[in-house]
Structure 1
Amino acid sequence: MSSDGSQTTAIPLHPDDITPGWLNGVLGPVLSGASIDSVTVIPVGTGQTGATYRVTASYTQRSGLLPPSFVVKLPSQDPEVRQRVALGYRSEHAFYTEVGATLAVPTAHCYHIDLANDGADFVMVMEDLAPAVQGDQINGCSTGQASLAVEALAGLHGPRWCDPAWLDFGGTTMPRADADIARGMGDLARFAADTTVERLGDRMSSDDRSTIDEAVSWVPAWLLLEPERYALLHGDYRLDNLLFDPGCSRVTVVDWQTLTVGLPARDLSYFIATSFGAADRSSVEGDLVTAYCDALRSHGVVDYSIEDCWDDYRVGMLQVPLLTMLGFAFSSATERGDDMVLAMLTRGCAAIRELATLDRIEQRS
């Protein structure tokens, strides 16, 4: 990569623009008089809506406090995807600049974040959490990993549970639904479902296609349930967006591009259902829902019973097909992406049927 030492803070459009000069410009206070004289930029991950790189730095006069590497996140290199998900980049920017510090969810340290052109241009420089490893969405997770994840999720929801400020939070990708938004989301969900079923074809079972068709019809009513119980949602709280330290000692939550405000258990349902096959889920979900509810109490949420939490968990399962299909319909196609979406939808549809989610939505509507 370039060894140009000239400093600039312009947002890089491509990985070749992540130069020593650019890093020196945006990391000046962190470097404390040292400078970066060369970098190696290597792609990491297989994100469908962004491009992430590990940047290894060589320093002049490096102190032991300076990290040997960073992770830099840029928008998708596909111009069409870049424009479609600009709202997501704005959402991530809002999380790190406005609200992250007010919550108790474990996140990576952000050294620098910036955006321009209404979010189409975006960059974030964050700590490199290696040797932590990304969760495996297709293979699923252990109960130990799941326990860490639900405790971390309570740290997102609990500290500002039902905070009225969320109702005016401008950084959300999908704002809290009113009747008009709910109808629009219903139409969008139908389009995403048709696109998903067409792309996956016969790989989807007839039972799952039927479940998706019925589930989509309930999206507008579902979005309007329990308006008095809300929190900031991650929106896409799943294994691919979690990093686990060796020995499963700690979890870090990443990718804040799908923020919304709504029924908190939607995040919980989405995580548990997409992380386990049907048999494993049914054996662990009771303990995980209880652990989440207990963790909320440690953050001051004392008026939320385990019975209400379990019922919200059942209802929240509609998050699985909604978010999975929206992400799939509006992102670049990859072989792993197809396999991952199929696994998530298969698991989510099984949970919807087994937990009688659609019946419960009808009863509560």
Structure 2
Amino acid sequence: MNAPMIDTADEITPAWVGAALGAVPGSVHVTPVGFGQIGSCLRVALTGTGLPASVLVKLPTADAGTRGMLAGAYRSEVRFYRELEPTVAVDVPACHLATDVTDDGRFTLVLEDLAPAEQGDQLLGGTPQQVLGAAENLAGLHGPRWCDPALLDLGWITLQDADGADLLAEVYPSAVGAFLDITGPLMTAEAAATVRATLPLVRDWSLARAERFGIVHGDYRLDNLMFSPDPAVPVKAVDWQTLSLGLPAKDLAYLVATSLDPGARREHERSIVAAYHARLVEHGVTDHSLEECFEDYRFAMLQGILVSVFGCAYGARTDRGDRMFAVMVERTAAAVRDLGTLDLV
């Protein structure tokens, strides 16, 4: 479809929807979804034949300065749906329209509305069954393009290099300081000590195991997963703005550690990793043993700490956000200690 790019909810008219979906609705009703910290998401209810009951429209933030800074993130999501999604097997919302992203960050996405599927809750955590389904879905992202050299030629997503690792090591200490100032009252001293213990390791960790690479979602966690009662498609992944190339197990470790309380993780992590690995094999990965997969999972545990530290230190602050990042790090720090992750770097 060839609908024009729009900037505001007022531009979502029957004629525009017709250009986007191929059939003009009798009416449209637009309501906001979520909090819109880095953009806006709008649910558009439709009437008429040949149309879904509703769709979601994603637009950039209205603030021009912020919008420009986020253009790279917006571009990653658009290019995922346009270029990568057809080549992988991860379950995601169907994309009806993905426009170009302008240099100042303007774009428009029209996606399948996944209702009545429900978003996961990072604070509450997930059930082992939810995490198992999410891990199996994740293998559909990693497996089909596992170590595909063509990914290295894309240019808009890349592997970590020495310059990036140096920058990470430079900015990480201040991010840790800000994170601990914010979350200090919300975390145990043991978790805080684990975070500090990562400080001398992040550069080497970020460059290690580059011989195994794939498409990394970068924020594959409960808040970015939609869970459905449909057993055929129990989970779909959203928010593709943090893509990179890297060790695939970073997504897996991040998912499991941030989603499950330590007791549940200890009980179920081996079976979850085994299920993920089995799906990798189904998707054609033949040179990656289950033992190696679990070792990568152990090694990759720092992902949950790094993403949470930077998200908390530099993201827009909310009470829920502060508590969420503290919980994510508390859970992940326990996994780092249990699995001896720091000894593997």
Name the TM tier (shorter chain).
over 0.9
Name the CA distance, whole Å, in 1 between partners of 2:36 and 2:143.
29
Identify if the C-alpha distance between structure 1 residues 324 and 50 changes in structure 2 by more than 3 Å, giving closer, same or farther: farther
Name the CA distance, whole Å, in 2 between partners of 1:195 and 1:80.
24
**1:88-112 deviation digits (Å, cap 9, x = unpaired):** 1111011011111000111111001
Q: Does 1:56 align with 2:45?
A: yes
Q: Partner residue of 1:265?
A: 249
| Equivalence map 1:200-219=2 (5 Å) | 200-219=183-202
Q: Does 1:140 align with 2:162?
A: no
Name the CA distance, whole Å, in 2 between partners of 1:156 and 1:146.
15
Work out which of the residue numbers 11, 16, 29 in structure 2 matches 1:17. Answer: 11
Identify if the C-alpha distance between structure 1 residues 205 and 89 changes in structure 2 by more than 3 Å, giving closer, same or farther: same
SS at structure 1 position matched to 2:197: helix
| Paired residue total | 343
Q: Does 1:332 align with 2:321?
A: no
Q: Partner residue of 2:79?
A: 94
Identify if the C-alpha distance between structure 1 residues 275 and 220 changes in structure 2 by more than 3 Å, giving closer, same or farther: same
SS at structure 1 position matched to 2:41: strand
Q: Does 1:274 align with 2:258?
A: yes
Unmatched tracts of structure 2, length 5 or more:
none
Deviation (angstroms), 1:83? 3.5
**TM-score scaled to structure 2, two decimals?**
0.93
Contact 1:89–1:257 (8 Å) recurs in 2: yes
Deviation (angstroms), 1:153? 0.8
Work out which of the residue numbers 270, 277, 291 in structure 2 matches 1:286. Answer: 270
- The code of the aligned residue for 1:36 comes to P
Q: Partner residue of 1:237?
A: 220
Q: Does 1:112 align with 2:106?
A: no
Unmatched tracts of structure 1, length 5 or more:
1-7
Name the CA distance, whole Å, in 2 between partners of 1:206 and 1:78.
39
SS at structure 2 position matched to 1:227: coil
SS at structure 1 position matched to 2:195: helix
**1:296-316 deviation digits (Å, cap 9, x = unpaired):** 111111111111111100110
Deviation (angstroms), 1:335? 2.2
**1:109-156 deviation digits (Å, cap 9, x = unpaired):** 100112433262122101111111111111111222112111111111
Name the CA distance, whole Å, in 2 between partners of 1:326 and 1:84.
16
Greater CA drift, 77-86 or 214-223: 77-86
Aligned alpha-carbon RMSD (Å): 2.0
| Equivalence map 1:153-302=2 (5 Å) | 153-172=138-157, 175-246=158-229, 249=232, 250-302=234-286
**TM-score scaled to structure 1, two decimals?**
0.88
Q: Partner residue of 1:4?
A: none
SS at structure 1 position matched to 2:209: coil
Deviation (angstroms), 1:248? 5.2
